[in-house]
A = this chain, B = another copy of it.
Amino acid sequence: MYQGETTLNIALIHHPVVNKRAETIGSAVTNLDIHDIARTARTYGVAQYFLATPYDDQQSLVKELLAHWETGHGATYNPARKEALSIVRLVASLEMAIAELTVKYGKRPMLLTTSAQHRETTIDYKEVAAKINNGEPVLLLFGTAHGLAPEVIGLSDATLPPIKGCTDYNHLSVRSAASIILDRLLGS
């Protein structure tokens, strides 16, 4: 528990996600997704940032990267980065993240998805912010590639409304989308 830590948790899902033809795939872990999202998450008081990938080689890469910043040269070179990455938790699947949080909080977290498209079961930002302020555990999911696979969306309790600018262009990076959504939920 760190100063300002909330009950909001996030997970970046690398499998199952969809490609541009809406086929279910697994994506590769991106270095900057780990760093940028961890820095934003730590700024806004996210309790844990789960990286979910079932692939052994991808898990090894993540472990190596985290070790560099947690105990290797990076830890002394940039202690602020170490602090951000300390909330990152590598898991093989979304189910593992849910299980860990269920144990931690003594109840299953509310599962929220995000999407560039409008979906039916939406909840607004204020409502989620109020739940977090009340200490309710929430797990917010972000998809890599072209987004979360339908079976992940099917597991969720609600979906946040898509982020809109004042144009019809709608192709934010997951790093930008995560930053904006965390600011909307927890920014002062």
Contact = CB atoms under 8 A, between A and B. Distances in A.
A166 B39 contact: no
Given A183-B180, A183-B183, A184-B183, A44 B175 contact: no
A154 interface: no
B172 A35 contact: no
A172 to B, nearest CB: 6
A84 interface: yes
Interface in A159-188: 163-173, 175-177, 179-180, 182-184, 186-188
How many copies of this chain does one complex carry? Answer: 2
A136 interface: no
B180 A172 contact: no
Interface residues of A, number: 40
A167 B35 contact: no
Contacts of A180: 179-180, 183, 187
A58 B118 CA distance: 40
A164 B42 CA distance: 11
Interface in A73-117: 80-81, 83-84
Interface string A29-50: 0001001100110111100000
